[in-house]
Structure 1
Amino acid sequence: MFAEFLAEMIGTMVLIIFGGGVVAGNLLKKSKAEGSGWVAISVAWGLAVTMGVYVSGTVSDAHLNPAVTLSFAAIGEFSWDLVPAYIGGQLLGAFLGACVVYLNYLPHWRETKDQGAKLGVFATDPAIPHYPSNIISEAIGTAVLIFGLLAIGANQFSEGLNPFIVGLLITAIGFSLGGPTGYAINPARDLGPRIAHFLLPIQGKGPSNWSYAWVPIVGPLLGGVIGAVVYQYVFLKSSVVGIIVGVVALLALVALSTTFSIVKSNQEKSNKAAMKRV
Structure 2
Amino acid sequence: MGTIFLYEIAGTAMLMLLGVGVVANVVLGKTKGNGGGWLLISFGWGLAVFAGVYVAYKTGAHLNPAVTFGILSSGASEYAEGIPVNFANTVAYLAAELIGAMIGAFLAWAVYKKHYDEEKDAGNILGTFSTGPEIRSYGWNFVTEVVATFVLVIVILLFGGTPDKLGPLAVALIVVAIGASLGGPTGYAINPARDLGPRIMHALLPIPNKGSSDWAYSWVPVFGPLVGAVLAGLVSQAFI
Mark yes or no: TM-score above 0.5: yes
Q: What residue is the counterpart of 2:86 in the other structure?
A: 80
Residues 21, 101 of structure 1: 8 Å contact kept = yes
Mapped to 2, the partners of 1:213 and 1:21 lie a distance apart of 20
Mapped to 2, the partners of 1:112 and 1:124 lie a distance apart of 18
Unaligned runs of 5+ in 1: 237-278
Q: What residue is the counterpart of 1:110 in the other structure?
A: 117
Number of matched residues?
A: 230
Is 1:130 paired with 2:137? yes
Letter of the structure 2 residue corresponding to residue 173 of structure 1: I
Three-state SS of the structure 2 residue aligned to 1:132 is helix
Mapped to 1, the partners of 2:92 and 2:26 lie a distance apart of 33
> Cα offset for 1:139?
0.1
Residues 115, 205 of structure 1: 8 Å contact kept = yes
Mapped to 2, the partners of 1:161 and 1:136 lie a distance apart of 26
Mapped to 1, the partners of 2:179 and 2:110 lie a distance apart of 26
> Cα offset for 1:5?
0.8
Letter of the structure 1 residue corresponding to residue 49 of structure 2: V
**TM-score, reference length from structure 2:** 0.93
Residues 75, 229 of structure 1: 8 Å contact kept = yes
Q: CA RMSD for the aligned pairs?
A: 1.3
Letter of the structure 2 residue corresponding to residue 80 of structure 1: N
Residues 72, 233 of structure 2: 8 Å contact kept = no
Is 1:43 paired with 2:38? no
Is 1:225 paired with 2:230? yes
Mapped to 2, the partners of 1:160 and 1:215 lie a distance apart of 29
Q: What residue is the counterpart of 1:142 in the other structure?
A: 149
Distance 1:161 1:68, change over 3 A: closer
**2:217 aligned to 205, 212, 219, which one?**
212
Q: What residue is the counterpart of 2:82 in the other structure?
A: none
Mapped to 2, the partners of 1:41 and 1:80 lie a distance apart of 36
Residues 63, 69 of structure 1: 8 Å contact kept = yes
Mapped to 2, the partners of 1:169 and 1:160 lie a distance apart of 14
Is 1:96 paired with 2:117? no
Point out which structure has higher relative CO (alpha carbons under 8 A, 6+ apart).
2
> Cα offset for 1:161?
7.7
Q: What residue is the counterpart of 2:61 in the other structure?
A: 62
